[in-house]
Amino acid sequence: MAMTTCDVCGTETNMPYHCNHCGGTFCAEHRLPENHDCPGLDDWNDPEGVFDSGFDDSVSTGRDPSSSKSLLDRIGIDTGPGGPLAYFRGNMTYVFLILMAVTFFAQELFKALFIGFDVNEFGRVVTTTPEMWELYRSIFILQAEHPEYVWTWFTSIFSHGSVSHIFLNGIVIFFFGRLVEDYVGSRDFTLLFLASGVLAGLGQIVIMLVQSDMGGVLGASGAALAILGVLTILNPGLRVYLYFVIPVPIWLLTIGMVAINVLGMFGTGGGGVANAAHLIGLAIGLAYGQHVRDRIRLPNQLQLGGGGRGPGGPGGPGGPGRGRGPF
């Protein structure tokens, strides 16, 4: 859980609000622009003072109201406070984690119900129902043989090959995704997650086609590493605890990920890893972090881990200003 301090009262909060008008970070009491003397109020022509969380563009900023409506508003979906999509404001990290879990469950259920496996005379595992296996691949896996299956550009992001695969990606997204979402807003975070996942998968497919490899790719690793890349730019000193034990700054972790995947592309690492997709996702995150760093106001204190007070001062043993997260 991330702990930040309010720019007005200095109160520690694990649910910070990021103001898109002035770039500040605030507690619930001071989240509204009128409660923190937001400079943006001078140019903000909204009599009701609705706070924009960054999920959509529906909040008026002095322009013609009809021109400021988002696509969701135009098609009649209420994204405002109390609307059916209100929960997703500030919670897209958890929405993506839930989609990953639901998709993985659907994968396993499909295989259990419709796909049988056996071992042939060469000791290789083969499917006894090839038609259903191809249907499974066409739903959940982005394939080099069928890049025109556009839906797999997205379903493959949330699909995973094993429990360990989804667990590792989930750890990165759970601990780091919410930080990035707080920095850039839910809307931009959603676009970053989906765009990096799609581009990483397609990039891996292009390399497979060049190598005449008709395999496929699945998993949220590209999006997870994009998140890691953004944090590396915005908060390079963030301390991460490898295996919950070894403290390293996040920039060093990023360099290590680059080295591992570059070596993997040359056959040094283990097989079955989409190294190119990892590097593409990381590069997208680094580029995006560089793009937004000048307009992001970072909190002056950050901690990953427990939120209580302990012997080490505010936030526990790590003390103020130290981030803690497993990887």
Among 3-7, 273-277, 295-299, the range of highest mean pLDDT: 273-277
Q: Are 291 and 233 in contact (CB under 8 A)?
A: no
Q: Is residue 62 part of a domain?
A: no
Question: Could you tell me if 161 and 289 lie in one domain?
Answer: yes
Tens digits of per-residue pLDDT, 66-124?
Answer: 444 444 555 455 555 555 555 566 689 999 999 999 999 999 999 888 887 776 666 67
The structural domain count of the chain equals 2
Q: Is residue 108 part of a domain?
A: no
Tens digits of per-residue pLDDT, 55-79?
Answer: 444 443 344 444 444 445 554 555 5
Question: Could you tell me if 152 and 288 lie in one domain?
Answer: yes
Q: Is residue 8 part of a domain?
A: yes
Separation of alpha carbons 202 and 180, rounded Å: 24
Question: Could you tell me if 30 and 146 lie in one domain?
Answer: no
Question: Could you tell me if 287 and 145 lie in one domain?
Answer: yes
Q: Is residue 75 part of a domain?
A: no
Q: Is residue 54 part of a domain?
A: no
- Write out the DSSP string of 159-214: --SSHHHHHHHHHHIIIIIHHHHHHH-HHHHHHHHHHHHHHHHHHHHHHHHHTT--
Tens digits of per-residue pLDDT, 1-55?
Answer: 445 777 778 777 767 777 776 767 778 787 787 777 776 655 544 444 444 444 4
Q: What is the CATH number of the domain that holds 219?
A: 1.20.1540.10
Q: Is residue 115 part of a domain?
A: no
**What range defines the domain where residue 209 resides?**
141-293
Q: Residue 246 phi/psi, 5° resolution?
A: -90, 115
Question: Could you tell me if 33 and 153 lie in one domain?
Answer: no
Q: Is residue 111 part of a domain?
A: no
